[in-house]
Amino acid sequence: MNWTTDNIPDQQNKTALVTGANSGIGYEIAKALYQKGAHVILASREIERAAEAILTIKADGGSGSLEMERLDLSSLKQVHEFATAIKQRHQKIDVLINNAGIMTPPAGLSEDGFEQQFAVNLLGHFALTGLLYPLLRKSKAARVVTMSSGAYKMVKQLDFENLRLEKVYDAQREYAMSKLADLLFMTELQRRSTVFGDNIISSAAHPGVTESRLARHMDKAVFDAAVEQYGALMPAWQGALPALYAATAGDVKGGDYYGPDGEYELRGYPALAELTDAAKDGYQAEKLWQFAAEVTGLNYP
């Protein structure tokens, strides 16, 4: 049986926070959780788009509630401001979905001096999870879902000497590096949470080939060639399913990674996805954690 949003258990009395929730996969995740009764916080860099998303979600109906807050993951200062605002309004967070991302933009540095994709896809979410960790601890069974990509398999290990654009920029390589980093972060978060006895499930997901704004920086010819090679893109609601499964299904375990069940994990319905040896490298995961902890000033739990 194909798992869909119909299979999501009741989410009443749960608070979920979704980054990048104003469009695409993040929007569909927020909508599905709202329809199942959750209070959903839409975190978005573009607050006007988040406001529009809330109106659209409400128009489709649901039993939950919604709020929004501006979040710019490329700025560690703004991540701190966001977390402060959330902690002032909420006692707990049951589901944190680290969904927002950037893919193959022109070369550039974040406000804090890091390659943009690494800054947004990994570092901002590392800081966000750490700042909200006290609220996750207060949930009876919190889940943290980090969005990766099948593209992570393009690289075998992290290059710690190229996180600030020290080398010639390769947009695809840097994207793949950030998505490998997401998986290493996911596994190390689970290891640490377990050691400290926290009832938190850290897992990851990827959407396969899905229609979203993520590809907006891709050259049209490259994009068209990719579609011709890999086939038609799935709609955003279907690409959101692996993350929703990781966030809500009863059989999810810490360290699990979900993606589409079709050939090469490109399209289909949620199933366990492949974690390569690189993604399971405990040495790399701990090294990444220590690096992120040092530059963000956050070492948790």
Q: Which residues pair with 17 in a beta bridge?
A: 41, 96
Q: Do residues 76 and 122 touch, judged by C-beta distance below 8 A?
A: no
CB atoms within 10 A of CB 221: 8
pLDDT digits (tens, 9 = 90+) for 15-63: 999 999 999 999 999 999 999 999 999 999 999 999 999 999 999 999 9
The percent of residues above 70 in pLDDT, for the chain, comes to 93
Q: State residue 210's pLDDT score.
A: 85
Catalytic residue among 175, 245, 257, 258: 175
Task: Identify residue 147 by its one-letter amino acid code.
Answer: M
Domains detected in the chain: 13-294 (3.40.50.720)
Q: Tell me the pLDDT of the chain averaged across its residues.
A: 94
Q: State residue 205's pLDDT score.
A: 98
Q: Which distant-in-sequence residues (6+ apart) come within 8 Å of 137 by Cβ?
A: 198, 200, 301
Q: State residue 217's pLDDT score.
A: 46
Q: How far is CA 30 from CA 5, 16, 54, 147, 244, in A?
A: 12, 8, 9, 14, 9
Average pLDDT over residues 218-245: 73
How many Å apart are CA 41 and CA 62, to the nearest integer?
15
When pLDDT is cut at 50, 70 and 90, the band that residue 295 belongs to is very high
Question: Does this model's pTM top 0.85?
Answer: yes
pLDDT digits (tens, 9 = 90+) for 238-249: 999 999 999 999
Q: Do residues 237 and 28 touch, judged by C-beta distance below 8 A?
A: yes
Query: Is residue 175 flagged as an active site residue?
Result: yes
Q: State residue 214's pLDDT score.
A: 55
pLDDT digits (tens, 9 = 90+) for 65-96: 999 999 999 999 999 999 999 999 999 999 99
Q: State residue 229's pLDDT score.
A: 60
pLDDT exceeds 70 at position 169: yes
Q: State residue 1's pLDDT score.
A: 81
